[in-house]
Amino acid sequence: MRILVSLICGTLFGAGLYISGMIDPQKVLGFLDIWAIADGDWDPSLAFVMGGGLIVAMPIFQFAKKRSDAVCGGGLELPTNKNITGKLILGGALFGAGWGLVGYCPGPALSALAFGQTDTIIFVATMLAGMAGARALHLNR
Amino acid sequence: MENFTPVSALIGGGLIGLASGLYLLLNGRIAGISGIVGGLLTSSKGSTPMIERLVFLIGLIVGPLVLMTGTSIEAQSVVTSPLPIVIAAGLLVGIGTTIGSGCTSGHGICGLSRFSLRSLVATLSFMIAGFLTVLVTRHLMGVA
C-alpha cells in the first residue's frame, strides 16, 4: 500500500509540475526575473503555483501533524532540526544560484526527463553527482 | 506579462500540494524531492525504503508522460544555457540542496505548510539567490 501511495503521490506531483508549467525552466526564470517588473515582462506564475500548493497542503499538514501515525502505518517522520544555521543559509544560496542559472530545481528537472532531452539528462546527472559528493563528505549533517 | 498563466499555475500548484499532503498523511513522509533522491544515493540508515523513494521518482516522470500522451495539454522544457553552465548549475543544485537540507518542495511547500521557521529562512535564501543570479546573468552580463 505504501508503495502504491508513493507512486500515486509522485505521479500527481509530476502532473502538477507539468500543468503548472514549472517543468519549463524558462517559466521559472521568467519568475526569478523580478528585475523585469518595470518593463512589464515579469511572469508571476510561480508565485501562484506556490500559493496553490500551500492552500491545499497546509490544511492537510496541520491535520496530519496532530496524528501520531501515518494512515498506511508507521510513524510520521517530521524534521526535528529547528536550528537556523549558516549552513542552512549557505546551502539555500548555492541551490538558488544553480536554480537561477538554468531554471531547474530537483523536481522539475526529474519530471522533465519525460521529454528525453540531452540538456535535462546532463543537468540531472550532475545534480545527482553533487548530491552524492556532498553526502560522501557528510555535508548533509 | 503575456506569459502569465495564473489558472494553470493554481491548478498545477494545487496538485503539487495535494501530492505533498497525501504523502505525509498516508505515508508519514515529507515530499521533499531532493531528500527523496538523496536517500537513494546513500547506503546509510534512513527509515524510508528504497523502493518507496524510487517509485515516487518514477511517478514524477510518469505524470508528465501520461498528460503529454493522453491529453491535449501541452508543455515544454527549454534549456537555453550552454553546456558548462548546465553542468555548474546541476552541481550547485545538488550540493546546495544537500547542505541546505532541502529544495523548493521540501522547504517551500512542505516546510511552510508545517510552519517551519527553518524552512522559511531556507526558502528566502534560495529565492533571493535565484533573483540575484538572474539579475547578474540577464541584466548585468546580458546572457540567456
Mean predicted confidence (pLDDT) in A9-13: 98
A131, B38: Cβ pair inside 8 Å? yes
Mean predicted confidence (pLDDT) in A93-115: 98
Question: What percent of chain B shows pLDDT beyond 70?
Answer: 94
In tens, the pLDDT along B95-138 reads 999 999 999 999 999 999 999 999 999 999 999 999 999 999 99
**Out of A20, A60, A101, closest to residue B81 by CB:** A101
In tens, the pLDDT along A124-136 reads 999 999 999 999 9
Tell me if chain B has a CB within 8 Å of the CB of A137.
no
Instruction: Please answer whether residues B34 and B103 qualify as being in contact, where contact means their C-beta atoms are separated by less than 8 angstroms.
Output: yes
Instruction: Tell me which chain A residues have a C-beta less than 8 angstroms from the C-beta of B83.
Output: 119, 122
Which residue's C-alpha cell is 559528493? A133
Mean predicted confidence (pLDDT) in B26-30: 95
* 3 state DSSP class of A70: coil
With a cut of 90, say whether residue A54 has pLDDT above it: yes
> CA A47, B108, B117: angle at the middle one, nearest 5?
120
How confident is the model at residue A74, as a pLDDT?
84
Mean predicted confidence (pLDDT) in A69-93: 92
Tell me if chain B has a CB within 8 Å of the CB of A141.
no
With a cut of 90, say whether residue B141 has pLDDT above it: no
Instruction: Please answer whether residues A44 and B66 qualify as being in contact, where contact means their C-beta atoms are separated by less than 8 angstroms.
Output: no
Nearest to A15 by CA among B36, B59, B107, B4: B59
- Which grid cell is B110? 512542505
* Interface predicted TM-score (ipTM): 0.95
User: Looking at chain B, which residue has its C-alpha nearest residue A3?
Assistant: B52
Extents of the domains making up chain B: 79-144
| Model confidence, pTM | 0.96
Tell me if chain A has a CB within 8 Å of the CB of B57.
yes
> How far, CA to CA in Å, does B38 sit from each of A37, A43, B64, B72?
36, 31, 22, 34
- Which grid cell is A139? 555535508
How confident is the model at residue A104, as a pLDDT?
98
With a cut of 70, say whether residue B44 has pLDDT above it: no
Nearest to B12 by CA among A105, A79, A24, A35: A24
Question: In what helix (H) or strand (E) does residue B87 lie, and over which residues does it extend?
Answer: helix B83-99
A-facing residues of B in 99-118 (CB < 8 A) are 99-101, 103-105, 107-114, 116-118
Query: Residue length, chain B?
Result: 144
Tell me if chain A has a CB within 8 Å of the CB of B143.
no
Residue B67 CB partners (closer than 8 Å, separation 6+): A15, A18, A19, B73, B75
Arithmetic mean of pLDDT over chain A? 95
With a cut of 70, say whether residue B45 has pLDDT above it: no
B-interface mutation test, from A5, A9, A34, most B Cβ less than 10 A away? A9
Instruction: Please answer whether residues A117 and B124 qualify as being in contact, where contact means their C-beta atoms are separated by less than 8 angstroms.
Output: no
- Which grid cell is B122? 531556507
- Which grid cell is A136? 560522501
- Closest approach of B73 to chain A, Cα-based (Å): 7
pLDDT band at A18 (very low <50, low <70, confident <90, very high): very high
Instruction: Tell me which chain A residues have a C-beta less than 8 angstroms from the C-beta of B109.
Output: 50, 53-54, 57
